[in-house]
Amino acid sequence: MMTKKIISILFAIILVLGMSVSAFANNQGIYVYDEAGILTNDEIEELNAKAKAISEEYNCEVYAITFPGLEGGEAWELNEMLYFQLTEVFGASEDIIILTLAMEERQYDILAHGYGNTVFTDYGKDVMAERFLDDFANDDWYWGFNDYLDTCDEFLEMAANGEPFDVGSEGDSFGANLFGVLIATIVSCVIALVVCLIFRAQMKTARLATEAHDYQKELNLTNHYDRFSHRDIRRVYNPPQDNDNKSGGGTTINAGGFSHKSGGF
């Protein structure tokens, strides 16, 4: 198992080194690397310009990378290799976020480091993934990356304002507000309708009598019993829920100082 893992990592390093010759040879403001060849040149240019603008505005570098395949490794391992390559070889900032897609396995990984860990919390990464995964699932690569960059922009701005996006921050988003307004409107309409129907019910008071309680005497019980019949016992396995950081917000950082969000698309 370990051997396989080492081989995989080595392979990834070789892959990255190989890539560095072709792709990272020029890091003069390049933030989008399409090694899998899934974007057109125009799309790369547009996305790169956007990523560059965001990176420069908030001093946190935003990268988007596609790879043909993992060759047996894990997406997060590959992404950490890419981080070292970018920072140590090409002098990229340690305050960073990288989204990498491995096309053959259809796996992705979001890596954050430094200030990126403050901005992109575990919950923030979950929300970010939700926003781009629907596009990637439809092979809509350009719009998937576009959503990724928009989300980076939004979260970086919130962090710059002193409130990084995390659990409980959704109330600030337009979608959440719209949802709240919708719920408030529906509840208000229901309350108004109930009040109106109460007043309306006063307009119709003639109803057929279905019982005769006003004319009855006391019930005379002549016989009665309550006998035990049987007992059912149901056991449902319900282990305690793990209380990880996600439920309380914040960012889970590994020993290398990275935080990740990985999955398939």
Footprint of other proteins (CB under 8 A) = 171, 177, 180-181, 183-185, 187-189, 191-193, 195-196, 199-200, 202-217, 219-240
Residue 198 CA, chain-centre distance (Å), reads 45
Strand 258-264's sheet: what is its strand order? 32-34, 61-67, 96-102, 107-113, 258-264
* Spatial separation of the C-alpha atoms in residues 63 and 83, rounded to whole Å: 10
Question: Least distance in Å: CB of 124 to other proteins?
Answer: 21
| Phi (first) and psi of residue 126, to 5 degrees | -60, -45
Under DSSP, is residue 197 helix (H, G, I), strand (E, B) or coil? helix
Q: How many CB atoms lie within 10 A of CB 189?
A: 10
Q: Which of 41, 161 has the CB closer to other proteins?
A: 161
Taking the complex as a whole, the smallest distance from the CB of residue 142 to other proteins amounts, in Å, to 33
- Nearest CB to other proteins, comparing residues 28 and 210: 210
Beta bridge partners of 259: 112
Decide: helix, strand or coil at residue 57.
Answer: helix
List, in order, residues 6 or more apart from 30 with CB less than 8 Å away: 24, 48
3-state DSSP assignment of residue 125: helix
Closer Cβ to other proteins, 84 or 179, answer by number? 179
Min dist CB 113 to other proteins, Å, is 34
CB of 158 to other proteins, least distance (A): 16
- Residue closer to other proteins, measured from CB, 91 or 240: 240
Q: To the nearest whole angstrom, how small is the minimum distance from the Cβ of residue 126 to other proteins?
A: 23
Residue with Cβ nearer other proteins (234 or 255): 234
Q: Cα dihedral angle (143, 94, 86, 40), rounded to 10 degrees?
A: 10
Q: How far is the CB of 161 from other proteins (least distance, A)?
A: 17
- DSSP 3-state of 139: coil
Q: Which is nearer to other proteins, 215 or 255 (CB)?
A: 215
